Amino acid sequence: MIIITAMSLPFLSKKPIDLPPIVSVELIQITDQTNIPFAPKAKKIIEKIKEKEKKLTTEQAPPKIVKKVKPDAVPLPDEKIDKIKKIKDKKQNPEKIDNKVKQVSEFEKDDLFDPNNIAALIDKSKVESAETKNKTDKVTQNQEKNADFTRLTLSEEDALKAQIFGCWSIPLGLPYDEDLLVRIKLQLKPDGSIIRSEILDHARMNKPGQGFYKVLAESALRAIKLCQPLRVPSTGYERWKDLQLNFDASEMLKG
Amino acid sequence: MNLSNVLKNGFLIIVASLVLTACATQKKASTGQMQGDVYTGTDTVEYLASGVPDRVFFATNETVLTTASRETLRKQATWLRKNSSINVVLEGHADERGTREYNLALGERRANSAKDYLMTYGISSDRISVLSYGKERPVDSGSNPLAWSKNRRSVTVKAN
Amino acid sequence: MLLLFLLPSKSFALIEVDITRGNLSPLPIAVSPLAIDEKSKENFNRILTKENIGSEISIVVENNLKKSGLFNPLNKDAFLQKPEIANLKPRFEDWNLIKAQALVTGKVTFVDEKLRVEFRLWDVLAGKEMMALAFTTTPSNWRRVGHIITDKVYERLTGEKGYFDTRIIYVAEEGLKTKRIKKLAIMDQDGFNNKFLTLGNELVLTPRFNPTNQMVTYLSYFRNLPRVYLLDIETGMQEVVGDFPGMTFAPRFSPDGKKIIMSFAEDGNSDIYTMDLENRIVERITNHPSIDTSPSYSPDGKYICFNSDRGGYQQIYVMKSSGKNVKRISFGNGLYGTPVWSPRGDLIAFTKLHKGKFYIGVMRTDGSGERLLTENFYQEAPSWSPNGRVLIFYRETKTNSKGEGFSAKLWSIDLTGYNERLVETETDASDPSWSSLLSN
């Protein structure tokens, strides 16, 4: 074995290479690490989807015209108190998995649920069918008798889907071959604004190795916020006041 | 030993020329300077001595010596026998249409083809060293088939 | 009505709507300049001659995010909130107004001659903090601070590790195509802090980092003997790898950094060998009369992919690291070279030559699922980003009829085939090799 130093090799610069030392990083929060392969997407397929995307967005009606926001109806939680609490929580604690879980649930309950408000807001004037008439009599107590439609009509569903498609920024680089379905349960006001949103298996968000799930869940929540008020049908509030959205990006990512 | 070598080489030459004529009938020679895609011109050729060309050319991705290459190498062998104090380096090259690492191996192969041939003509392997440049040292910087054919080569260079 | 009573269970069913479409455009993100107090500003200006190091760092972050192709950093002119206030408590309505979905704020201070940075990532729509981090370093490391912030933001928002606090080692090129001068060079992933490691007296090729980024193995033509070398980039110490009687080339480190795998050409025939860097034991891995080169280990070290023409033409093969079970994996039309195993282990990147065009592509490790990402006159030698999302490679231009107009440049492309970008270098460049993450 020949060992040659920098001085004896004419092709090496004499100056020792001055590379900065590794930065010392004090991590305040530890993030999960995963090794899941992400979705490969063929160029053409994406382009095709993008084409479809364009069509979709152009088909969309501007949401604001449809809905009137009733400001007095929006329950406002005491945001300031919430914030201060959060900042305190953030005090540099590297092991805060418990805290994180707490935070998530806090986040979901951002807006407080007020049943009285809902009852007051039901738009009775437009209830026409026999089934829903039945509902209006007993408003909240007797739900089991009321709901019979387990679906929205196709056009209703399409309108809602089209709206959310436009709001949802799919996190690029997610794996497509993972079980990445985020189910969000919403409680809605008649105007389509959100009273409450809940990720159905939100515990998964903070499990190690579920970084992609968390990213997808957060993007779904952002989409809902951005779309608010949702483009809901103008009738049949009882039918859709609880609504579940299933976010699944695999089709888009796979192409 | 020598006799068997001569016989063997004679046989190889016959086979090679058969192959070449077969090739030539299939592929059209693109210019007057190429046969198949092997360079046959003299633009870049230098001479070790009068009448002793310094280089041989190869077909794309090939390391087989052509008839013309063998003729050149026999002249080099004769010259080397006459000048027994001279050592040579065979520099093998590839064109730019290949990946760098593979081309290094290809250049090495080409130079070794030439070396083996010189050795069969009695030149001691002690007098021949081999150096592959892959695609690093083209003689023609063009990006066209003629330029590439000039660059697919093994060049015999005096080492002392 | 009758139906209703017959199917009472249905009444509990929740309406479900499947959302399977969305936007594939980059996420709008606002990177607020990092707040800085006057005194710290003066101190950093004195040390680094940067008027406002807070904005400089945020520009590093912004450029990184933009180049990733996954984010759309919004124009700072539209920002309504001052950095110092935004960092304390962002007015989410303001950031929402400019359509930001995420927000990065932060603060720089000068503490004990050091640079202290804290930064926060906010979810604008949810109105909540997603991450808060702080670190201190020597002021001269300020660009790396920007890269580390980007890595953290990237990881939090995409779910995968970043690749910004990394370096590229490459071959800097100058001069005529026929007499190219080549030097080893190293730079930050974004092209800054470029340094030449050799002077250009000798031809140097194919540098590759070891897993800890302190060593580089490469091919040098020192004294006209093409051999694989090992260079310690911190000490400048240099040595020839092994004592081979002929050309050694195409070197790479094993994933544990303990071995170098390379080709050795013996009597014109190139086979694959390894050398253990601790005990100097040389092991022959392939023994075949064809050309075997461009070896690359799988990340678990169990397999090797390599390039061989044993089937007549250049193709990609995979074998166990012992050299057993050699299997051809490339079966498409054309020639295949430079296989490189991805850091995730699931893909092999390669160069393909078909009908006079060069492609960079990827395939699964069994050869299935081949995807070509980019086509050009000449390009080769992909190298993976440490997270396996981006490939960097080099591309050469076609010269004109007079042989003029040659250039070699580095390019990067996402695994999606999107986001192809020129990687700016001071000189012409080739043979890039991406380091692993320097920190974290």
pLDDT tens digit sequence for C8-19: 444 457 889 999
Task: Say yes or no to pLDDT of A25 above 70.
Answer: no
Q: Please name every residue paired with C305 in a beta bridge, in sequence order, or none if there are none.
A: C296, C318
Query: CATH code at B95?
Result: 3.30.1330.60
Sign of the torsion angle spanned by Cα atoms A40, A45, A46, A52: negative
Residue C232, chain A, CB below 8 Å: the answer is no
Task: Say yes or no to pLDDT of C385 above 90.
Answer: yes
| pLDDT single digits (tens) A108-149 | 333 333 333 333 333 333 333 334 344 444 444 444 444 445
Task: Say yes or no to pLDDT of C243 above 90.
Answer: yes
Say which residues have a Cβ less than 8 Å from residue A15's Cβ, sequence separation at least 6: none
Taking residues A36-43, what's their average pLDDT? 34
The upper half-sphere exposure of residue A224, i.e. CA atoms within 13 Å in the direction of its Cβ, equals 29
Taking residues C23-30, what's their average pLDDT? 92
Structure tokens at C284: 């022959």
Q: What is the pTM of this model?
A: 0.79
Confidence of residue C25 (pLDDT cuts 50, 70, 90): confident
User: In this structure, are residues C40 and A186 in contact, taking their beta carbons and an 8 Å threshold?
Assistant: no
pLDDT number for residue C339? 98
**Report for C97-101, C236-240, C247-251: range of highest mean pLDDT:** C247-251
Residue C201: CB atoms within 10 A of its CB come to 14
The verdict on a CB contact (< 8 Å) between C398 and B101 is no
Angle at which helices A211-227 and A154-167 cross, to 10°: 110
Region C167-434: CATH code: 2.120.10.30
Confidence of residue A30 (pLDDT cuts 50, 70, 90): very low
**Which of C210, C221, C283 minimizes the C-alpha distance to C252?**
C210
Burial A140-179 (b: 16+ CB within 10 A, else e): eeeeebbbbbeebeeebbebbbbbbbbbbbbbbbbbbebe
Selected residues 1-60 of chain B with any CB under 8 Å from a CB in chain C: none
| pLDDT single digits (tens) C277-326 | 999 999 999 999 999 999 999 999 999 999 999 999 999 999 999 999 99
What is the domain count for chain B?
Answer: 1
Residue C200, chain A, CB below 8 Å: the answer is yes
Q: Out of A19, A145, A165, whose CB is closest to C11?
A: A145
User: In this structure, are residues C319 and C301 in contact, taking their beta carbons and an 8 Å threshold?
Assistant: no
The upper half-sphere exposure of residue A183, i.e. CA atoms within 13 Å in the direction of its Cβ, equals 11
**Which of C239, C247, C254 minimizes the C-alpha distance to C285?**
C254
Query: CATH topology of C27-158 equal to that of C167-434?
Result: no
pLDDT number for residue A202? 82
Taking residues C186-215, what's their average pLDDT? 96
The backbone torsions φ and ψ at residue B47, rounded to the nearest 5 degrees and listed phi first, read -125, 135
Amino acid at C48: L
Fold of C27-158: Rossmann fold (3.40.50)
Structure tokens at C28: 């709008």
Name the minimum distance, in Å, from the CA of A185 to any CA of chain C.
9
The upper half-sphere exposure of residue C250, i.e. CA atoms within 13 Å in the direction of its Cβ, equals 33
| pLDDT single digits (tens) C216-242 | 999 999 999 999 999 999 898 999 999
User: In this structure, are residues B79 and B124 in contact, taking their beta carbons and an 8 Å threshold?
Assistant: no
**Distance separating alpha carbons of residues A184 and A227, to the nearest angstrom:** 14
Q: Could you tell me the end-to-end alpha-carbon distance of chain B, in angstroms, rounded to an integer?
A: 29
Angle at C380 between CA C376 and CA C383, to 5 degrees: 125
Confidence of residue A253 (pLDDT cuts 50, 70, 90): confident
**Which of B115, B30, B26, B15 minimizes the C-alpha distance to B67?**
B15
Q: Out of A37, A103, A213, whose CB is closest to C346?
A: A37
Report the percent of chain C where pLDDT is more than 70.
97
pLDDT number for residue A136? 40
Residue-number span of the structural domain to which B28 is assigned: 2-158
pLDDT number for residue C138? 93
Q: What are the boundaries of each domain within chain C? A: 27-158, 167-434
Name the minimum distance, in Å, from the CA of B18 to any CA of chain C.
21
Residue B115, chain C, CB below 8 Å: the answer is yes
> Residues for chain C: how many in total?
440
In the numeric block, the tokens 């050319």 are attached to: B57
Residues of chain B with pLDDT under 50: 1, 3, 12-30
Structure tokens at C412: 């990067």
